[in-house]
Chains A and B, each alone.
Chain A
Amino acid sequence: MPASSAQPTVVPHATDPSIGSGAEASTDRSAAASHMKNRTLARDLIDTLASTTLATYALIWLLVLLVAGTLAQRYVGLHEAQLRYFQSWFFTVGVVPLPGGRLTLTVIFITLLTKFIFKTRFTRRQLGINITHFGVILILLGGFVTAMFSVEGAMPIEEGATNNFYEDYHKLELAVINPSNPDYDEITAFSGSLLKPGKELADESFPGTITIKKLYKNCRVVSIARDATSNRRGAAATNELRELPVDPKPEKNQAGAVIEIQGISPQTDGVYITLNNYNPIPIIAHDGLVYQVSLRAKRYQLPFAIKLDDFDKQVHPGTGMARSYSSMVEVIHNDTSRKTKIWMNHPLHESGYTLYQSSYIDGTPQISVLAVVKNYGRVFPYIASGIMCIGLLVHLFIMYLDAIKRRKTHQAKAGGSS
């Protein structure tokens, strides 16, 4: 019968005489059914994931995020807006959680990947589009690698000075400098989850304990009356910190912390204040050693050092407008060093790091600010963009060929009819 032969796997042979076979057959049947169910489920899932409709809505949501995130930059600053809208999985409006940039991009990535693996038709007309989609997959992959593994920061460096670390743009650390070794300073830095109000910090490199009482991203210093009975020491004896709202412009924020030091000596123990970009607070231990404690931008070590020989800023003649800036530097690797120049649009690539001329601070000596980046996903956009361009060009070319063909048939038809 045609009906049963069309579905041989679903309809078992009802005429089977053996006893055990009934059970076997029923197992077979349910397995086949569930297998079928799974297959349809998988199909459905793939169909849903690979559907253009899902991609369209995800893209529309990305557009919404893009507009919201851009407008928000005016009010909360570039960094905050990025964190909230683009570098988040979810963000909330009131109490409603909404998908963030990461989730949206991931959905687009999965949609594209599923479509690419299961649904791609390799026809002539689809060729350009397929190539373009592959390029988009690569660029999203690159974005993922960059978001997960890249590091970046700034290296301010004075003329004549040598530097082998760079600073985080946003994160802070509390550094304790132990001078006991005559050859080098031992530095212990507390950051991340350790740097929170209420945390008690202790390390063998420091004879006492440090408790973080207050930590402000932005604050100002106000004078207070000296109280001889209080345990406020140093600048804290006559000053205290007042919290300020965080400014959208990162450079306008003055981070500061109120810390309490205990367990050293009655003269030293007490409350101190420390400010980012200011001198460290000296802490005199009972053995006479002067430790230094300071709140500062989080530092990362580089596997090489940079010495700034000369910073040069040129202006357009007769104006104050910069035409170019450049830093003549020496790259020092253990005992070898070489001279090179870093300037606008011409970075230095060294040991996986890239150093850019970012800005400068006028004064004597001049300070050149280099941006330091290590990005494992760096190569992706270059390859991906090439592929995307080729894809679109191929597609346009095929469209053009089709248009010519259509015109020809049209003309032939017109010629035939007349």
Chain B
Amino acid sequence: MKLRCSSVRCTSCRVVACLLCLVAASSLCAQTRSQEGNQNSETPALTSTTNAAVSPEAAAVFARLPIQHAGRIKPMATFARHELLTFSHRSKIGDQDAITWLANTLLDPEKAANEPIFRITNDQVLLALELEPNKKQLYPMSQLRAAIRAHMGTISTLLDKTRDERSLVEEQLVELYSKSLEFMALSRSLSAFIPSYAIHDPQLARALDLAPDQPASYYHFVTHRQAIAALLDKADSRADAPLPGDAELQRLLTQLNNRSRETSAQLLTILLPDEGEAWLAPWALLDGRPISPTQQARLDQLNNIVMALAGNDTQRLETLADSWTSSVLPDHHTIGLELIFDKADFFHKSVVFYIAAFLAFLIGMLGTSPWGRRIALGCLAIGIALHGTGLVFRMLIMGRPPVSNLYESIVFVGFIAAFFGFVIELIRKDSLGLLTACVLGTIFQFIGFRYASEGDTMGMLVAVLNSNFWLSTHVVTITIGYGASLVASLVGHVYLGRLAFAPSNTEKLNAVKRLAMGTTAIALLFTMIGTILGGIWADQSWGRFWGWDPKENGALLIVLWIVILLHARISGVVSRIGFAAALSLTSITVIIAWFGVNLLGVGLHSYGRAFGIGRNIAIFSAVELFIVGIGYFIAKAKDTQLKRAKEAQLETARRHNDPERRPAKPAHA
């Protein structure tokens, strides 16, 4: 039997060609198709010998390996969670945590393709792809791949459109398509190291340093390319009387050829480069380029790690991982901190304590014991401490101030609101601060979790934001301003509530009024300083202090609103009820300034994401307007009622002409 590629005379060239030449040109998309085709027709599916799932212990060691992703070096655990969140919007899948899932996916891509991990919640997307809806809203890659292939025409037209031109469903279709590509690239990232090819012919196996039927990886054959070249030469020379091993060698080469198309699977950038800053994926070194001895050594090390991981050999894996990490990152690095941060999960724990504080407070209200409030205060303090510790960890890991993106601003505002509430509680001791802290702390942590479910929350910053000085002054101040304004708004609600339901209790009413004034003044201070610092940053980096840009206008919106509130009250344009209502509505201005301006997509500041935010803002504003509106009308009605009662009282007193019975002058707000 004559070898198919024998027309090429130089055998070593031929091996390299057979193994590697196809790969450079093959795109991932083409790869998907051709693999499918191959599996169906020419060659049987590659046998994987790593069917045993990775143990949690081995996965935990794997989690410590460093990877460069989205511009920074992070532990594999963070990367795994980011990827799983991207596909499934969850940080766990079934009983597997993200890192175990990633390890299993990398070691057995075929099996992983049949696991339902793609979350599709929009029925329109399902209809467009003609997918059967299932209860869990999760679909496996294999099913998705078939659906995408069947509707590739539609998707191509969508890809030609710009983002602005796509509807929500269309955008989600495009997202799903790119996620499927990402999954393909991810799952095949270590496929070069998976032992998938068993040689049955004893002679051939021996020549390739293998025992008969012992599975070997693509990488094994790459390291034995000289031996293969020699074997090919020999096979060529006896083309007329081939040995049994020659046919198997031919089959092996075809299989290796197919695998070499996976070279575009370069998502797992875990190898240090010889030069430059960008790390390399294993396949990047296996695309036929000459490999330096250092890189060869690294690949060997990586091969051993994959073997140990596949064999669930935790002890060996631990030794290998440690020496790997110390060779890749010889300096002290924040990876350890990030692993602790991941494991400790400060933010989720803080919410538990916020809720506990709230419950303790409620239970305490039932009886007369002071312990309810004390326990609540204790829980709140622990919650705030955990919340703050989480923020400090993030600052240490990223080496920058606490707020630099939308997610961080949410977590930070939650912290500030809880902290202000706590301080108010310590001063006033009337449970108002306690309530504020628990409610705002919990709400913002939950909003934060929603945002965190979109992937890694520690992203890198675009050039203009990449300034620790301004991030720590302007951004932190304005974010504190948001928090303070929300606290003021909540106090406004309480004030309005008192005006509506207990307007005759003047002492408590005045206390709340003073608190409202105080928090409003603090909110004004921080939002104003924050806005001005923003102007100064703009002046320093763009050359103008103020440009009526949406984000600037948003910040000014809050400041103006608060200034109007104060002046309208002083000038008597609004009554105290109007003031309380308007103060309550400050929350809407904050939400609009904070999230709403990103919807416009114009101006230098537009760097947030928009889908879904608009609807949430609208719902929030409507609910808030409704609540405040009802409060306002009840308070107004009560006020008229009280006034009438007083007039009637005055009238009787005047009629009786009895100065002693005249009511005391009402304390004016």
Contacts and interface: CB of A to CB of B under 8 A. Distances in A.
Interface of A: 51-53, 55-57, 59-60, 62-63, 66-67, 69-71, 73-74, 77-78, 81-82, 85-86, 142-143, 146, 152, 248, 315-319, 321-325, 344-345, 347, 354, 356, 358, 371-373, 375, 378, 381-382, 385, 388-389, 392-393, 395-396, 399, 403
Contact of B560 (A62, A85, A315): A62
Most buried by A among B279, B535, B544, B556: B544
A143 B279 CA distance: 49
Contact of B540 (A315, A319, A347, A392): A347
Nearest to A143: B546
Contacts of A403: 514, 518
Interface in B279-299: 279
B573 A56 contact: yes
B429 to A, nearest CB: 12
B557 A73 contact: no
A78 B567 contact: no
Interface of B: 68-72, 269, 276-279, 460, 462-464, 466-467, 470, 514, 517-518, 521-522, 524-525, 528-529, 532-533, 535-537, 539-550, 553-554, 556-557, 560-561, 563-564, 567-568, 570-573, 597, 600-603
A317 B560 contact: no
Given A318-B278, A392-B524, A373 B543 contact: yes
B550 A323 contact: no
Contacts of B550: 70, 73
B603 A78 contact: yes
B522 A396 contact: yes
A304 to B, nearest CB: 17
Given A66-B557, A347-B543, A56 B564 contact: yes
Most buried by B among A78, A81, A388: A78
Contact of B548 (A82, A319, A323): A82
Given A51-B571, A325-B463, A344 B541 contact: yes
B638 to A, nearest CB: 25
B279 A317 contact: yes
A347 B467 CA distance: 14
12 contacts: A63-B564, A67-B557, A70-B550, A70-B553, A73-B602, A316-B460, A317-B68, A318-B269, A323-B460, A356-B541, A375-B544, A392-B528
Contacts of A371: 542-543
Given A59-B564, A59-B567, A378-B539, A319 B463 contact: no
Contacts of B463: 322-325, 344
Contact of B466 (A56, A323, A381): A323
B71 A318 contact: yes
A63 B560 contact: yes
Which 5 interchain pairs have the tightest Cβ spacing?
A316-B71, A52-B571, A373-B543, A317-B277, A385-B532
Contact of A81 (B521, B522, B525, B548): B548
Given A56-B567, A358-B542, A381-B539, A321 B71 contact: yes
Contact of A55 (B72, B277, B524, B571): B571
B283 to A, nearest CB: 15
A388 to B, nearest CB: 7
B521 A318 contact: no
Contacts of A319: 70-71, 460
Given A78-B549, A319-B71, A323-B460, 12 more contacts: A60-B564, A66-B553, A70-B553, A73-B602, A74-B600, A74-B601, A316-B71, A344-B467, A358-B542, A385-B532, A392-B528, A392-B529
Nearest to A343: B463
A378 B545 contact: yes
B521 A347 contact: no
A381 B539 CA distance: 10
Contacts of A392: 521, 524-525, 528-529
Contacts of A372: 543
Contacts of A82: 547-548
A395 B521 contact: yes
Contacts of A81: 548
Most buried by B among A316, A354, A389: A316
Given A78-B603, A318-B68, A323-B460, A86 B525 contact: no
Nearest to B67: A318
Most buried by A among B470, B521, B532: B532
Contacts of A86: 548
B605 to A, nearest CB: 11
B536 A389 contact: no
A67 to B, nearest CB: 7
B532 A78 contact: no
A317 B571 contact: no
Given A59-B560, A60-B564, A381-B535, A317 B71 contact: yes
A146 B545 contact: yes
A160 B561 CA distance: 51
Contacts of B524: 392
B603 A317 contact: no
A396 to B, nearest CB: 6
Contacts of A85: 548
A60 to B, nearest CB: 6
A73 B276 CA distance: 42
A248 B602 contact: yes
Contact of B521 (A55, A248, A396): A396
